[in-house]
Amino acid sequence: TYEQQLAAAKQFILSNDDFLVVSHIDPDGDAASSTLAIGWMLKQLNKKFTMINEGHTPGKFNFLWGFDGIIDYSKAAPSRTFEHVIAVDCADFSRIGKVKSLFSPTTQILNIDHHRTNDFYGAFQLIREDAAATAEVLYDLTMELQLNWSTELGDSIYTGLLTDTGGFRYANTTPKVMRIAAEMLQVGVDGNDLADRLLEKLTYSHVILLQKALSTLAFTADKRISWVSVSLQDIAEAGASNEDLEGLVNYPRNIEGIEVGILFKEVETNKYKVSMRSAGIADVALIAKSFGGGGHFRAAGCTIPGELQATITKVVKEVGLKLQ
């Protein structure tokens, strides 16, 4: 049960030391803030820990406690292995990316997540599929560990909730999410400042890329599926990094009558990362899974080799079948 998982997670943390804390590749708000929230908890418990990600953690999270402590593996890989790992917001082992090379054959992993498609890797799991964010699971863990709340921890938990619920708007915004968010405001989190930093503010590169993406906007004949694409050249011309692509998929998705919105993002020549968003009829996690990816009912992704037109045809056909 979840209560047993919480007790085991607590035991794993209290009885060990020298942890590696890792989140998924291309960290989003929940991944980055969950890494930092675990770091904060370990610090309170006087544990030694290393926070890491395969790549760059977006600078917009730099106001969070511990941000500068997250190591970019691609730039400064530690030259040692770790026996105790806490992986947060990683639906499957592969999403840990190259950081896995820091594990030894005897490494124990505590897998903390909220994805329905989690493949239960690791010696221990702490997974609640009805949680809106990994940050929500970490709220439960903080209670289990009986740690005192602080604005630092509150900022991280609130960031995870805010970003994974799209600003408390998605269907995963439960009464519990709002109660936890309210508690975070109570400990001094500035909700308006976080919403401004994380949701309202647009980078210049994002807007330029949006301009290019919207020029590719396309629809199926019945106008139930819509998509946009961005090429490596678009990304380069806009000077965009991964974080500048966030939210592009919402434009096709938010058009009235659209059941599934899709973003095709070129990640290598003839290789596309596909982001899918469903209005509620089609389970896009199933579609993503059929292409080797995963995610949630309404938000999922996968990466497909091949040319753009062939990839669009393949994916749109699969989505169309789910809408029949």
Angle at 58 between CA 52 and CA 61, to 5 degrees: 90
Q: Which stretch binds ligand 5GP (CB under 6 A): 127-135, 150-158, 295-303, 305-313?
A: 295-303
The residue among 159 and 275 lying less far from ligand 5GP, judged by its C-beta, is: 275
The rounded distance, in Å, linking the Cα atoms of 136 and 215 is 38
Helical H segments across the chain, by residue range = 2-14, 29-44, 134-144, 151-164, 175-186, 191-195, 204-214, 232-238, 250-253, 284-290, 308-322
Tell me the backbone φ, ψ of residue 230, rounded to 5 degrees. Answer: -130, 135
Nearest distance from residue 117's CB to ligand 5GP, in Å? 6
Identify what 144 binds: ligand 5GP, Mn ion, none; CB under 5 to 8 Å per kind: none
Binding of ligand 5GP by 91 (CB under 6 A):
yes
Q: Are 261 and 226 in contact (CB under 8 A)?
A: yes
Nearer CB in complex with ligand 5GP: 20/91: 91
For residues 256 to 275, the per-residue mask of contacts with ligand 5GP, x marking binding by CB under 6 A and - elsewhere, is -------------------x
**SS3 of residue 33 by DSSP:** helix
Nearest to 26 by CA among 1, 56, 5: 56
Position 92 contacts ligand 5GP (CB under 6 A): yes
Per DSSP, 21 falls in state E
Q: Which segment (35-43, 85-93, 100-108, 287-295) binds Mn ion by CB under 5 A?
A: 85-93
164 binding partner (options ligand 5GP, Mn ion, none; Cβ < 5 to 8 Å by kind) = Mn ion
Measure CA 93 to chain center: 14
Three-class DSSP category at 299: strand
For 123, the token pair is 């010696």
Q: Does 39 bind ligand 5GP (CB under 6 A)?
A: no
| Residue 54 contact, options Mn ion, ligand 5GP, none, Cβ 5-8 Å cut-off depending on partner type | none
What is the token pair recorded at 287?
A: 């579609």
Determine the Cα–Cα distance for residues 103 and 85; give it in Å rounded to an integer: 8
Rounded to a whole number of angstroms, the minimum distance from the CB of residue 282 to ligand 5GP is: 14
Asked if 293 interacts with ligand 5GP (CB under 6 A), we say yes
Torsion of CA 58, 183, 177, 70, to 10 degrees: 20
Please state the length of the chain. Answer: 324
Q: Which is nearer to Mn ion, 30 or 140 (CB)?
A: 30
- 52 is a contact residue toward Mn ion (CB under 5 A): no
Collapse the DSSP code of 88 into the 3-class scheme (helix H, G, I; strand E, B; otherwise coil) and give the result. Answer: strand
Q: Which does 58 bind (CB under 5 to 8 A by kind): Mn ion, ligand 5GP, none?
A: none
**CB under 5 to 8 A by kind: which of Mn ion, ligand 5GP, none does 31 bind?**
Mn ion
Please provide residue 269's backbone torsions phi and psi, each rounded to the nearest 5 degrees: -55, 125
Alpha-carbon distance of 30 to 208, in angstroms, equals 26
Query: Interface with Mn ion includes 136 (CB under 5 A)?
Result: no
Among 6-14, 50-58, 104-112, 296-304, the segment contacting ligand 5GP (CB under 6 A): 296-304
- Binding Mn ion (rule: CB under 5 A), the pick from 26, 30, 136, 234 is 30
Q: What is the CB-side half-sphere exposure of residue 125 using CA atoms within 13 A?
A: 18
Q: Does 31 bind Mn ion (CB under 5 A)?
A: yes
Q: Is 287 in the site for ligand 5GP (CB under 6 A)?
A: no
Considering the rule CB under 6 A, would residue 299 count as an interface residue with ligand 5GP? yes
Site membership for ligand 5GP, residue 184 (CB under 6 A): no
Q: What are the residues binding ligand 5GP (CB under 6 A)? A: 91-92, 117, 275, 293-296, 299-303
Q: What are the residues binding Mn ion (CB under 5 A)? A: 28, 30-31, 89, 133-134, 164
